[in-house]
Amino acid sequence: MGGRIAQPHGLAAPSLDDLPGGLRRAHAAFVAFLRVECGLARASVEAYSWDLLLLLSDLARTGRDDLRGLSGRDASTHLARLKTERHMAGSSVIRHLASIRVFFRWAVANGLCGKDPAEYLERPTRWKKLPDFMNVGQIKALLEAAATPTAATPLAGAIAMRDVAMLELMYASGLRASEVCGVSTSDLVESTGFIRVIGKGSKQRLVPMGAPARRALDEYLVEGRPVLLKPDGRDKGKLLLAQTGRPLSRVVVWQIVKRAAARAGLKDIHPHTLRHSFATHLLSGGADLRVVQELLGHADIATTQIYTHVDAGRLRSIHRQHHPRA
């Protein structure tokens, strides 16, 4: 497949002949793999070929002549260009991402690339909408609603303490629902006020908890968790327990958040809203973007950058305060 390839979306196609030798050979080898070893239909091979040509042309623009040393940032920059320069629709970017994921897995398996640059990329569907977040007053209302027991019983009191501890932890440390479910009692580093978190890709990070979260956790550990704990070890050492004494599931986390939100009169609140609020409030307070990236456990800073768009008012204020011609 030499020369130019027909562009499915009607844009001017980049040329295979313009690729450096290493990238051109990678393209040819992958297309041959799809055609010969995978036995894909001609239309499918051409679609993959076009997606790969777009990717490799972008890499060539940055001076690369092979796939060594590629990072998640290279892949996310390429996806961003599809939207900003080629005005590709979100659905098309999703399909394109699926194609380059296949290519990168093949490249790693064949020794052309050290690690998969697309392994931790977020699905582009998440770019369609800026993240929802709560203000400080709404966070307070959510916590107050969760703190009120539904009945005057030890079990109801324990559940309320657990719910507050969970919500405080998710907001104070920016945890995903799956992460808060996975926290063990041994993950609390009480001497330093940090918590050990296992995130996506089994990557471990240490995140500070904050004084209110630590107080809520202390109360839960002393008074609430013993009520929920069963003697048969079904808790598996996890921090947050369901009524049954088993570790919380993501479904139960969702139910806890929705129940507290309903009692507080808040709409469209879900577990990830707490994580969005954590990031937004940190950036609003002047935190460095890379620090927030580390705290959130994002593999690529491009994923974190979406939070910089939700606080335009603060940016305008800083500009007015510091720019001589503002």
> For residue 6, what are the β-bridge partners?
none
Using CA atoms, how far apart are residues 298 and 252, in angstroms rounded to an integer? 25
Q: If DSSP codes are grouped into helix, strand and coil, which group holds residue 134?
A: coil
Check if the beta carbon of residue 166 is closer than 8 Å to that of residue 221.
no
Q: Catalytic residue among 78, 275, 276, 281, which?
A: 275
- 188-189 sheet: strands from edge to edge: 188-189, 194-198, 204-208
Residue 281 falls in the annotated catalytic set:
no
Using CA atoms, how far apart are residues 146 and 222, in angstroms rounded to an integer? 18
Handedness of CA 167, 171, 177, 180 (dihedral sign): negative
Using CA atoms, how far apart are residues 179 and 182, in angstroms rounded to an integer? 5
Task: Count Cα neighbours of 224 within 13 Å in the Cβ-side half-sphere.
Answer: 25
Q: Catalytic residue among 48, 120, 171, 307, which?
A: 307
Residue 200 falls in the annotated catalytic set:
yes
Q: Catalytic residue among 200, 205, 215, 270, which?
A: 200
Residue 220 falls in the annotated catalytic set:
no
Check if the beta carbon of residue 141 is closer than 8 Å to that of residue 264.
yes
Using CA atoms, how far apart are residues 90 and 79, in angstroms rounded to an integer? 10
From the CA atom positions of the chain, what is the Rg in Å? Answer: 24
Burial class (CB in 10 A: 0-12, 13-18, 19+), 274: buried
Using CA atoms, how far apart are residues 31 and 54, in angstroms rounded to an integer? 14
Q: Catalytic residue among 83, 234, 272, 314, which?
A: 272
Helices (H), the chain: 21-32, 42-61, 72-84, 90-109, 136-147, 154-173, 177-182, 211-219, 225-228, 250-264, 271-284, 289-296, 301-304, 312-322
Residue 176 falls in the annotated catalytic set:
yes
Using CA atoms, how far apart are residues 85 and 209, in angstroms rounded to an integer? 41
Residue 298 falls in the annotated catalytic set:
yes
Q: Catalytic residue among 96, 162, 176, 281, which?
A: 176
Catalytic residues: 176, 200, 272, 275, 298, 307
